[in-house]
Amino acid sequence: MKTRTRFAPSPTGFMHIGNLRTAIFEYLVAKHDNGDFLLRIEDTDQTRKVDGAIDFIYDTLKLCNIEIDEGPNNEGEYGPYVQSERLDIYKKYALELVEKGHAYYCFCTENELEEMREKANLRHKPFLYDGRCSKLSKEKIEENLKNGVPYVIRQKMPKVGETIVEDVIYGKIKIDNSILDDQILLKSDGFPTYNFANVIDDHLMAITHVIRGKEYLDQSAKYNLLYEAFGWEKPTYIHVPMVLGSDGNKLSKRNGDASFMDLYNEGFLPKAIVNYLVLLGWSPEENKEVFTMDELIKAFNPKRIGKSSSTYDIKKLEWFNQKYIKELNDEEYLAFIKPYLTYDISGKSNEWVDKLLLIYKDHLSYGKQIDEMVKIFFEDSISISKENEEFLKSDENIPIVIKTYHDELEKLNNWDVDAIAEVINIVKEKTGVKGKLLYMPIRIKISGVEHGPELPDEIYLIGREKVLDRLK
């Protein structure tokens, strides 16, 4: 059987990175086996739907080099791929379950349900529907339907015994049937619930592997009971551990955590984001961290996904991003970084701008960082920290080095990097000073900070007048 996986997000806006990691895992499982990767839109909760969200999802996956084999914008033979367009299908299968005795009409009002919830709270127990409507006579059901009494359709759960869930990562899980609620399958507005629609769509779309968060593992018992009620083959389950923020909570858009587009707009490369997210929970057989997509497809084995939650670390992502930025050729790098430079460069030559950006190529962790790094080239004045001021007074040779460099630099006829570098050598010979006491005083005086790109490049780009003025 051909491997088929699906990514089934809700159309609620930009994709947060926890969801993106699940999509990446699903894609790698499919492509490792030369299978298909589907996009299905789960819009059963119409109140949260955001216009244009489907395009956001397509754009995100395209940027991440994830190809959608079938979906709303490129339908195959299993469509429609948007759940709100499949309501007749869900109703048909809900009614089939009623006929088989695995589901029933529920006519309870909201007041009745609220009364049950209050009683459960008083007993300090989780609310479980008491199943009263499953005992209604056939005549009463027909009378209610004839009179147009609003209803939902509930799944009739067994109340004794256990349901077994087999999972690739967590193995055999036993779920006590007594804790399973008679969940709603079809709501009164004709829309299916998330759990019911998933099972119907996964079967009809021939999905072989279902990958989702560990928090849904217990829910899989309900899915299995539905598969058994229909007599359908169950998919392979792969429940992945959660991605947690630094505060220990699950990452989510509702908590204001970064979405993929947030990171992308900050200047994180999609390849770096994908590479980092794959390693949040999965470990390769070989001791390696940096992968191309083709290498990930070849190496990916879902059995190597760990059981413990992973913590999202922005510093580690920055490390990955820096490595990928360094791998860009100069043309690619300039095309990537220029949009993040917000200073007015109208009076600067293309050669000057390109050189400025290129000297920071090996220092950048993400795109928006460039403005802070290059501000010394655009500001008329600089500030020197108290610590650096103290360093400038720490040795009697430092004032001599600064004055000698100023005087030698002032003599230069050609303002270019090689000539500026040679002046540093001249100062070294004249003063006998080398190392930290030679370079750091000059850098601090011209830039205000003790670290930066190659000193001759920095001096050249700041310009003769500003450098001589700052050295005074």
User: In this predicted model, what pLDDT tens digit does every residue of 383-392 receive, in sequence order?
Assistant: 889 999 999 8
How confident is the model at residue 252, as a pLDDT?
Answer: 66
* Kind and range of the H or E run holding 242: none
For residues 192 and 257, the model is more confident at 192
The mean per-residue pLDDT over the stretch 196-225 comes to 95
Instruction: Find tokens 């389950």 and name the residue.
Output: 237
Which tokens sit at 112?
A: 């009745």
**Average pLDDT, integer, range 333-358:** 94
Phi, psi (degrees; rounded to nearest 5) at 393: -100, 5
- Residue 44 has φ and ψ, to the nearest 5°, of -70, -25
pLDDT of residue 379: 85
pLDDT of the residue at 68? 96
What contacts 45, CB < 8 A, 6 or more positions away?
10, 194
331 pLDDT higher than 70: yes
Task: Name, in order, each residue with C-beta under 8 angstroms of 17's C-beta and a sequence gap of 6 or more.
Answer: 243, 251, 257, 258, 259, 260, 263, 273, 277, 312
The domains found in the chain, sorted by start residue, are: 4-83+243-311 (3.40.50.620), 86-240 (3.40.50.620), 328-377 (no CATH), 386-471 (1.10.10.350)
Q: Residue 21: which residues within 8 A CB-CB, separation 6 or more? A: 240, 243, 277, 278, 280, 281
Average pLDDT value for residue range 54-62: 92
pLDDT mean across residues, the chain = 93
For range 268-276, the mean pLDDT: 97
CB 209, CB 238: distance < 8 Å: yes
Selected catalytic residue, list 91, 253, 323, 361:
253
Q: Would you say residue 58 has pLDDT above 90? A: yes
pLDDT of res. 14: 78
Q: Confirm if 362 and 330 have CB atoms less than 8 A apart.
A: no
Instruction: Give the pLDDT confidence score for residue 253 in this predicted structure.
Output: 61
Confidence of residue 50 (pLDDT cuts 50, 70, 90): confident
Known catalytic residue at 159: no
Residue 155 has pLDDT above 80, yes or no: yes
Q: Residue 244 above 90 pLDDT? A: no
- What is residue 218's predicted lDDT score, i.e. its pLDDT? 86
Instruction: For residue range 403-413, list pLDDT tens digits in order.
Output: 999 999 999 98
Per-residue pLDDT at 328 exceeds 70: yes
pLDDT for the residue numbered 255: 62
112 pLDDT more than 80: yes
